[in-house]
Amino acid sequence: MKKILILHTGGTIAMKEDKATGAVAPDKENPLHSTTSELSKIATIYVEEVFQLPSPHITPIEMLILKDIIDKKVQEDNIDGVVITHGTDTLEETAYFLDLTAQSTIPIVVTGAMRSSNELGSDGPYNLISSVRVAASDAAIGKGVLVVLNDEIHTAKNVTKTHTSNIATFQSPQYGPLGIVTKRGVSFHHTPLLRESYDIQTINKNVLLLKAYAGMDDLIFKAMETVSFDGLVIEALGQGNLPPKMVNGIESLIKRGIPVVLVSRCFNGFVSDTYGYKGGGKQLKEMGAILSNGLNGQKARIKLLITLETTNDSTRLQELFLR
């Protein structure tokens, strides 16, 4: 049998609803422990309670702790796969962080739940069982960090939370899922072509994320003059365009050596240097803004946090963001 390590970090999957108040909060005993006998039919299971945090409380520090635990356990205990249970609000950020940093090719699967443990139709135990199945499958080796919920297998790079409460919330708008999980087994229908890896030891930078809107001006840049930060990601309009009143603010950040990464606020497609008008992607690129290849804002922020640990050369950052 394969050896699968389960790392619990909290989230709704480890919570319970108070029937009197309706409030959902962490449970004293992790309700997922009741699944252990079912999981033992699939693999030899090792469990660690790493955190008991709702995922809005997770930061890149906790993400780095998870990377370190996984790298160490792979070396010392010869495990064959890892499953991480996590709150769904920031699940895609932790999954993508681990995709870029974890040093092994064993399957690493991140899962969660939309309904807490004592709610009707609770999806946690089922998602955990599906995730262990995927982590124990040979086909999952070398595919990067995977996100498994609601019978679907997604890449950490493409998946995003699309609905506040529906159990089918995790979708990959650009490319669809990589595969499905059924009672009969795990089946992949696509395979990712590229993997990136950054073996970072620290995560100390401060990267901000802004969303652009019609009529946005330079007010936010004036406010930003008083704070110190290392990088900025902007969810720009369409193919990477911005309102003209933002241009001077961006130019002065780039002159101060602060990398500015552009992604699109659209769900699909890449940003590019197509438009030559004031604030268009072409002008912003010529000014030194970095164009990103299809990541959403929160994932581009994770990638900039990680890559800034390895370089602050803007040409190199541009190369890395085109991967």
Ligand X SMILES: NC(=O)C[C@H](N)C(=O)O
Residues in contact with ligand X by CB under 6 A are: 11-12, 54-55, 87-89, 112, 114
Alpha-carbon distances of 266 from 40, 192, 236, 269, 296, rounded to whole Å? 43, 22, 9, 7, 9
* Annotation marks residue 164 as catalytic: no
Residue nearest to ligand X (CB): 87
User: Which residue(s) pair with 89 in the sheet?
Assistant: none
Which of residues 120 and 194 has its CB atom nearest to ligand X in the complex? 120
Catalytic residue, candidates 9, 12, 35, 85: 12
Q: Smallest distance from the beta carbon of 321 to ligand X, in angstroms?
A: 27
- Report how far Cα 206 is from the mean position of its chain's Cα atoms: 17
Q: What angle do CA 205, 208, 213 make, to 5 degrees?
A: 165
Of 114 and 203, nearer to ligand X (C-beta) is 114
Q: Counting beta carbons within 10 angstroms of the beta carbon of residue 225, is it exposed (0 to 12), middle (13 to 18) or buried (19 or more)? A: exposed
Smallest distance, ligand X to C-beta of residue 57, A: 8
CB of 124 to ligand X, least distance (A): 9
- Cβ atoms of 95 and 160 closer than 8 Å: no
**Spatial distance between the Cα atoms of 52 and 317, rounded to a whole number of angstroms:** 35
Q: With respect to ligand X, which residue has the nearer C-beta, 88 or 131?
A: 88
3-state secondary structure of 264: strand
Which of residues 11 and 81 has its CB atom nearest to ligand X in the complex?
A: 11
Closest separation in Å from C-beta 13 to ligand X: 6
Cα-based distances in Å from 232 to 224, 228, 252, 300: 11, 11, 12, 10
Give the tokens for residue 130: 């599906």
* C-beta of 124 vs 177, nearer to ligand X: 124
Number of neighbouring beta carbons within 10 Å of residue 34: 11
Catalytic option among 9, 85, 88, 307: 88
Strand intervals (E) in the chain: 3-8, 15-17, 24-26, 44-49, 81-85, 108-111, 145-149, 152-155, 160-161, 170-171, 179-182, 185-188, 207-211, 231-236, 260-264, 290-291
SS3 call for 286: helix
- Known catalytic residue: 88? yes
Residue with Cβ nearer ligand X (56 or 185) = 56
Catalytic residues: 12, 88
